[in-house]
Amino acid sequence: MLETLRNAWKVKDIRNKILFTILIIIIFRIGSIIPVPYIDVEALKSAAQDTESTNQFFSYLSILTGGGLEYGAIFAMSVTPYINSSIIVQLLCVAIPVFERWQKEGEEGQKKLAQVTRYATILLALIQGIAFFFYLKNGGGNSQIGSYLSVSGNSVIFAAFVIVLAFTAGSALVMWLGEQIDAKGIGNGISILLFAGILSRGPQAFSALYGYFFKYKQYFAVIAIIVVFLLVIAFVVWMTAAERRIPVQYAKRVVGNKMYGGQNTHIPIKVNMSGVMPIIFASSILMVPTMILGFMRVTNPPSVFYKILSLFSVQGVFYAVIYFLLIIGFAYFYATIQFNPVEMANNLRKNGGAIPGIRPGKPTTDFISKILSRITLMGAVFLSVIAILPIVIGNVGQINISLGGTSLLIMVGVALDTVRNLESQMMMRHYKGFLD
């Protein structure tokens, strides 16, 4: 990875793209510490440091925004509205014929889907901004805190307008920054900003581990966490490179005076073809109940609805099971989008190719579908196990690292995707054509 970065820095065009990406990240980090008016920043910071009063929604958003929520910042909602809108639009591509047609129209269709995603992002940012305002007004559901706002009385209405507008505009600006990285920078823009937000929490995470080790004397738990994190990094790297190769033979055919075909090749199918997207989507969906829970005031006795939402605590067994199943479901969803066995079988038959021992047509389609299903299940199960493993370790060691596994998987996945993007750009610039 370091060698790739060093070689990329020598190429002027790529160096400019890297510097542009760094500039966007700096702007993103500045926007994550500029507070919105009428928010009691000190109260928010105190709540973030008090683990007993901080709910899991607060912790989740703080991780994704790099502390933007703790500052009541303009970018407090960060990339979550865009991620959620992307989930909705991609799911609608399966259900709505117009979206499905756009998805198959190539670049023009992708532009239309991107525009729909932008509108959906603004709408979700507005809804989430309103909900977030009530979260601040209710003190995160903690009756002892009262409110995270610095105003009261009739001024609350104007404060609500300013806060919701600032949060919505901040989400739109984050989306625009991500698109600028896509157009002029390196890697996927939204993933890079998500990576930057999580990485900025690194010093705080190391400080917490230091405290658990020396202050609370939880030696076994801290050592186990470090070992598991290292193993997760190694495993994700290995799983990203792993692939199943389906052998293909092309028949010989004579066209004029030339002979074509006759060679043996293979179809590579990645074990983890969907990357970290199932993790991001599953964690985003499961945080919705916890988010709603944070906007509610605790009653005595708690309501039935409150008890149901409480089941989605990220340290609970119910959350781990649903998380496991959602990751597998999204992995299959992405595999279905990326690979069409019927289309692959038809292309093989048109080009005179065949899988050894498998007849062309439907038998080839069934064979590819079976291989794809097994590979997807293997990658999804391993990914799910690693995602919920920190939850198990956290419950055993009584340390709240339940979101650490998700963050680590996202960071490693984004880093690998960015490095591959750099390698592909260097290959394009150093490729020698037949005229050279």
pLDDT digits (tens, 9 = 90+) for 311-367: 777 777 888 888 888 888 888 888 877 777 888 888 888 877 788 888 888 888 888
Whether 248 and 370 map to the same domain: the answer is yes
Residue 329 is encoded by which pair of tokens? 């479901």
d(CA 70, CA 58): 8
Sequence-ordered alpha helix ranges (H) in 301-361 = 304-310, 317-338, 341-350
Q: Which of 265, 268, 232, 262 is nearest to 368 (CA)?
A: 268
pLDDT at 176: 93
- Cα atoms in the 13 Å half-sphere on the side-chain side of 45: 7
Whether 264 and 157 map to the same domain: the answer is no
pLDDT at 432: 45
Report the Cα–Cα distance between both ends of the chain, in Å, rounded.
29
Neighbours of 406 (CB within 10 A): 27
| Residue 18 covered by a domain | yes
Whether 179 and 210 map to the same domain: the answer is no
pLDDT greater than 50 at residue 148: yes
| Residue 120 covered by a domain | yes
Q: Which of 175, 200, 225 is the last residue of a domain?
A: 200
Neighbours of 45 (CB within 10 A): 14
d(CA 135, CA 313): 17
Of the ranges 1-10, 140-149, 161-170, the best mean pLDDT one: 161-170
Whether 165 and 242 map to the same domain: the answer is no
Higher-pLDDT residue of 325, 295: 325
pLDDT greater than 90 at residue 119: yes
pLDDT at 104: 79
d(CA 384, CA 401): 16
| Residue 48 covered by a domain | yes
d(CA 280, CA 287): 11
Q: Identify the CATH number of the domain in which residue 405 sits.
A: 1.10.3370.10
CB 291 within 8 A of CB 57: yes
Each residue's pLDDT tens digit, 235-257? 777 877 788 888 888 776 666 66
Mean pLDDT score, 364-373: 87
Q: Which of 340, 392, 296 is nearest to 57 (CA)?
A: 296
Q: Which of 73, 78, 4 is nearest to 39 (CA)?
A: 73
CB 67 within 8 A of CB 74: no
Whether 21 and 111 map to the same domain: the answer is yes
Strands 243-250 and 353-354: antiparallel
Q: Give the model's confidence band at 47: pLDDT under 50 very low, under 70 low, under 90 confident, else very high.
A: low
Q: Which residue bears the tokens 């997760």?
A: 232
CB 203 within 8 A of CB 197: no
| Residue 6 covered by a domain | no
Q: Which of 168, 200, 232 is the last residue of a domain?
A: 200
Whether 187 and 208 map to the same domain: the answer is no
Angle at 360 between CA 354 and CA 365, to 5 degrees: 100
pLDDT at 376: 86
Whether 125 and 161 map to the same domain: the answer is yes
CB 64 within 8 A of CB 198: yes
Each residue's pLDDT tens digit, 11-42? 888 889 989 999 999 999 898 888 888 888 88
Any idea what DSSP says for residue 36? P
pLDDT greater than 60 at residue 141: no
Beta bridge partners of residue 258, listed in sequence order: 255
Whether 113 and 183 map to the same domain: the answer is yes
Of the ranges 132-146, 326-340, 405-419, the best mean pLDDT one: 326-340
Beta bridge partners of residue 260, listed in sequence order: 253
Whether 39 and 108 map to the same domain: the answer is yes
Whether 101 and 230 map to the same domain: the answer is no
Neighbours of 22 (CB within 10 A): 14
Weakest-pLDDT range from 96-105, 315-324, 382-391 = 382-391
pLDDT greater than 70 at residue 138: yes
pLDDT greater than 80 at residue 51: no
Give me the amino acid identity at 75: F
Phi, psi dihedral angles at 432 (to 5 degrees): -100, 120
Q: Give CB contacts under 8 A, 24+ apart, made by 244-248.
A: 244/268, 244/269, 244/271, 244/371, 244/375, 245/269, 246/355, 246/368, 246/371, 247/355, 247/356, 248/348, 248/353, 248/354, 248/355
Give me the amino acid identity at 428: M
Give me the amino acid identity at 251: A
Q: Give the model's confidence band at 52: pLDDT under 50 very low, under 70 low, under 90 confident, else very high.
A: very low
Any idea what DSSP says for residue 243? E
Q: Which helix (H) or strand (E) holds 211?
A: helix 202-214
d(CA 412, CA 233): 7
- Number of structural domains in the chain: 2
Each residue's pLDDT tens digit, 154-211? 788 888 899 999 999 999 999 999 999 998 988 888 888 888 888 887 777 777 777 8
Q: Which of 181, 200, 219 is the last residue of a domain?
A: 200
d(CA 97, CA 103): 10
Rounded mean pLDDT of the chain?
Answer: 78
pLDDT at 64: 61
pLDDT greater than 80 at residue 5: no
Contacts of 57 (CB under 8 A, 6+ apart): 135, 287, 290, 291, 293, 294
Q: What SS3 state is found at 285? A: helix
Structural domain range at position 152: 12-200
Whether 132 and 206 map to the same domain: the answer is no
CB 237 within 8 A of CB 250: no
Of the ranges 53-57, 66-70, 94-98, the best mean pLDDT one: 94-98
Mean pLDDT score, 252-264: 64
Whether 28 and 116 map to the same domain: the answer is yes
Q: Which of 62, 82, 63, 80 is nearest to 72 (CA)?
A: 62
pLDDT greater than 50 at residue 436: no
